[in-house]
Amino acid sequence: MMVRVVQFLRPNGRQQECFTDISERCETSYVDMTRAGGRLTAEELTTGEISLCVEHPEHGDFDSRVVVNGPPVTRAIEEMFDAFDVDRFRDFARGITEEETTGAKVIVKEHEQEKNDG
């Protein structure tokens, strides 16, 4: 499947939209990420390596990889989407820490149980 990548170009970080082909198994995670406000970015470093990120434009990098240019780029993108958790990404985008999220989920479950018992 073709996915959109925002590429940051040297020397000034100008953004350019491009597309790359990744495995169909990543479709759900990619769609979840974009619907949650995320995007996939790439930047060639001065070393020639490629920095890849799943990011939220306002909150920064959620996940990243640095790989050599070529086939490892596709593998790294697929790895990020294989590991992608949309709930954690939404929490990240709202600025909620993992500890706060865990506590909030416990409170919601307790409240739901009280409603079911009552």
Give the chain's mean pLDDT: 87
* Residue 102: predicted pLDDT: 52
User: pTM to 2 decimals?
Assistant: 0.78
Backbone φ and ψ of 48, nearest 5°:
95, -10
Report the distance separating Cα 52 and Cα 93, nearest Å. 18
pLDDT tens track for 31-55? 999 999 999 999 999 999 999 999 9
For 12-21, 74-83, 107-116, which range has the lowest pLDDT when averaged over its residues? 107-116
44 Cβ contact partners less than 8 Å away, ≥ 6 residues apart: 10, 50, 51, 69
Question: Smallest Cα–Cα separation from 45: which of 81, 82, 71, 7?
Answer: 7
Answer whether residue 103 shows pLDDT above 70. Answer: no
pLDDT tens track for 59-73? 899 999 999 999 999
Report the distance separating Cα 42 and Cα 77, nearest Å. 10
Contact status, residue 60 vs residue 39, Cβ threshold 8 Å: no
Report the distance separating Cα 60 and Cα 42, nearest Å. 13
